[in-house]
Amino acid sequence: MKDESLRKQDRMMACLIVILTHTGMRKGELHRLEAGKLKDITILNKKAKAFILEFFTFKTTAENNGKWTKTIAFPETVQAYRTLMKLSKDMRKKGSTNYLFLNKFNKIYGRTTFDNLFDTFFYRNQNELFDNISEYEKAQIHLLKIDSYLKGTIPKTLPNVPKISDTFYTLNPHQFRVAVANILKDKVSLQWIREHMNHLSEEMTKHYFRDELIKETLFNRATNDGTSLGLELNNQNHFIKKELSEPELIKAYEEINKFLKKKKFNIFKDIDEIINTLKYNPLRESIVGVCTKHLGMLCERQYRLATFEKWYFLSPKVPNIESFDFTYKRFIDKSKIVQHNKELVQQDSKYQRDYENEYSSLIKFYQNRVLQEHELLLSILNEKGKEFILSSYPQLEIIISDIENVNEEITKWASTLNLKNV
């Protein structure tokens, strides 16, 4: 944005990409951004300011002519927007327009040219962006072939002037949208994200998380050629070796591989089609079941299985044993996830943050739910007896019939993970 040696359109596109990175707005909304739409509001008893960026959308409205909507503007968004305003000031005046991204004729760019300038940013920054990226990241970038139209938008002053049919890596604007939602999911509420992303419903927002969960699950377990999940017993991947020691997880691998083989899917090449198929395929329930029930043991990145649970079940409350069967099950599942991630950290420190986040969540869950509800249950059981609990809370029959084992399991995990002393 600040590099004055670059063409104005390249600096302006850099501004737009910064805005895209922090708002996740749709490509069409980004393309048609207008001047004068950054609004400030006072917060913290008028001691500070926050910013809102207004923009026009056709997506989340039934109105044929679209509508104005808004998103939170983080500091980077504010800086990029103000830079874009400055760069386009004279052009907007000459063209008598309020649009921010204008061509040399002071008119808004057409869609094709806009797309080409977007890809030009990635062409110019190939080395900085795509060198030394992981296999997981490589599977999500796109290889684009240069045609005559794209070649015409790439600066001829570059040392590596492209030729027709040359290829380079780029990204899809929608990937930024998915990334923003997934970054925010650990920091703010689902409702906050829905409003920030301008989704019509929370269910639309949840789909972003589910899709990423499936992606990571498949990518992390794929064979080198991407045609299946690795079932070799001599697999050197630590977490896969651990999973293949458990019969129910081997079955999960086998079921997914049958699905991939039947549809002739390649995980790395067809991931978007795989996800869309899972949404409408009869196998969807078993696949999603694998993702939601077993991924705590399957994948180091699935420590967020209880993401939505964290928003609703981790705050302190008055103890009540009515749903202790659910509380107990979640505690055991979460404890296994934390223990699994703890072992992974010993193999590779890059999983340290995953482990710390899930461990922190488990501590809150243990202190605010498990410990209080368990102690209350034992107190009522001791005072009023088993028959009283079964008549008042019939859903706890399995818990009460196996109460000694339940007590032992809670004690074991609290001790193993050092929950009591935190």
Give me the pLDDT at residue 308, please: 33
pLDDT at 289 exceeding the cut of 50: no
**Where in the chain are the domains?**
8-175, 201-299, 313-416
CA distance 154 to 145: 13
Paired strand residues for 34 = 99
pLDDT tens sequence across 152-207: 999 888 887 888 999 999 998 888 988 888 888 767 778 888 888 888 777 778 77
| Residue 41, strand partner residues | 50
What would the DSSP string read from start to end of 290-309?
HHHHTHHHH-TTGGGTTHHH
Distance CA 413, CA 364 (A): 14
More confident residue, 319 or 48: 48
Token look-up 């001791």 returns: 382
The band of 15, judged by pLDDT with boundaries at 50, 70 and 90, is very high
SS3 224: coil
Rounded CA-CA distance 51/71 in Å is 9
107 and 52 in contact (C-beta within 8 Å)? no
Mean pLDDT of 262-276: 81
* Tokens of residue 345, six digits: 């950290």
Tokens 């996830």 belong to 337
The pLDDT tens digits of the residues spanning 307-355 come to 333 433 444 456 678 778 878 888 888 888 888 878 878 877 766 766 7
Structure tokens at 216: 């990571």
Question: What is the domain class of 8-175 according to CATH?
Answer: mainly alpha
pLDDT of residue 10: 96
Residue 305 has pLDDT above 70, yes or no: no
Ranking 102-106, 132-136, 140-144, 284-288 by mean pLDDT, the lowest is: 284-288
In eight-state DSSP terms, residue 315 is S
Residues 6+ away with beta carbon under 8 Å from 25? 19, 55, 71, 177, 198
Predicted local confidence at residue 97, as pLDDT: 96
- Amino acid identity of residue 419, one-letter, is L
The answer, yes or no, to whether residue 420 has pLDDT greater than 90, is no
Helices (H), 32-110: 75-95
**pLDDT exceeds 80 at position 287:** no
| pTM of the predicted model over 0.85 | no
Residue 15: C-alpha distances to residues 79, 163, 236 (Å): 8, 27, 43
